[in-house]
Structure 1
Amino acid sequence: MTDIEREGLYMGIRNFREKQVTSGLSLDEEKALKTLLEQVDADIKKVHKMQVNYSDEQMKAPVKVEAIRNATFVESPVKRNFLDKVMKKEQIVYYNLQVPNWADLNSYEWTYTFALEVRSFMEQVGLGDKWSTLLPPIMEISAVESLDKEEVEWLNLLPDTKWCLAAFDEVDELEKLAKQHSEEMYETITWLKEHWKDGYQIYSDYTELGFIQLS
């Protein structure tokens, strides 16, 4: 397998995973994803002489649910050298996410398996069509001190907290339904509601899904 083929293989898995956490996969898509995952297992075995179940490893991968408020994005241009200036190369600009207090940043961690469980629960309570808007997923994002322009634009489009709360309030006895499902689901729903009430905008970060550690 060439590097280009390998890159396409992992990108295909990433695309399926993104759809899986937002709207779910059809049976045909599930089969296609399984085929890609089996190809990864075979490639790892051939190249690294290791027996790995890549699907299982992804299911255990951490998903960070990030909550931010009062955020500003400060430009941090990369200093150009003399040659860059002579060649008139475009200056690279990164952005630092800054908040007045550390309390304005908070996070909650799931496994990928639980992220799928939450999406399934949202479908059961009638919020399936709103879920990817309520908790927007991003498959890869830079550290908060080195965000690029596209990432900043994406973060600036996070949904209004009042709208998110109103969507949850539309579901009768949502907390009770979550409690009946599991204690972990109840804690998740409670955490989301409390943070929206406190003015936090929230998104889910799946970056770790693409960085499975092989040991």
Structure 2
Amino acid sequence: MPPEDSGAWLLERMRQQIGLKTLAASRLLDFGCGVRFTQAILDHRIPIRSYTGVDCFAEMIGFLRSTVRDRRFSYVLLDAHHSLYNPKGRPLSNETELPLPLHAFDIVSLFSVITHQSPDDAVFIFTLLRRHTAAQGRLLFTCFLDAGIAGFEDRSPDKNGGRCFYNPDFLTRLVEDCGWRIVQRAPGDGPLIGDSFVCALA
């Protein structure tokens, strides 16, 4: 499936799961953005108030900034360390910040992000994004689950965050400790899309 089509499918899935009739009034913060949502919104003319993409891939962010002319779109480079995707980046910490307004986004999405994060980095990410979520906003993330493990397992061959699994109860406590409450959950779709969770500010 081309990225613009997979992006449109994910946006529609997200819209339905959050319970919106349309994304037209939504300010979307897409953490770990890639290019597919940008392509989907533009190619399929999906109505949206604004789209802000955040990623650690500098070349891609530079490309998007230089080629996307639609004023609804903006992009942020977060030079965050990841053993697989950005090994030379800066480790996430409580001091990590985004150059974005606080409490300004109606939807925050993390598709296939927590699937590549250790619990420590997941905590930093959930805590960071909480600052930028509007009072009635929603956060949606996907995660691979396994009730048979104690807490967390990195199942990638090199143990570099390639494919991470969480115990559901462990994940719930982690999310709640970061100031969120889970309001909706849906099963994964195939081997690549993990279970998805919708969260509200606690």
From the two aligned structures, give the one with the greater helix fraction: 1
Same fold flag (TM > 0.5): no
TM-score (norm 1): 0.24
- The answer to which structure, 1 or 2, has the higher relative contact order (CA under 8 A, 6+ apart) is 1
TM-score (norm 2): 0.25
Q: Which has the larger radius of gyration?
A: 1
From the two aligned structures, give the one with the greater strand fraction: 2
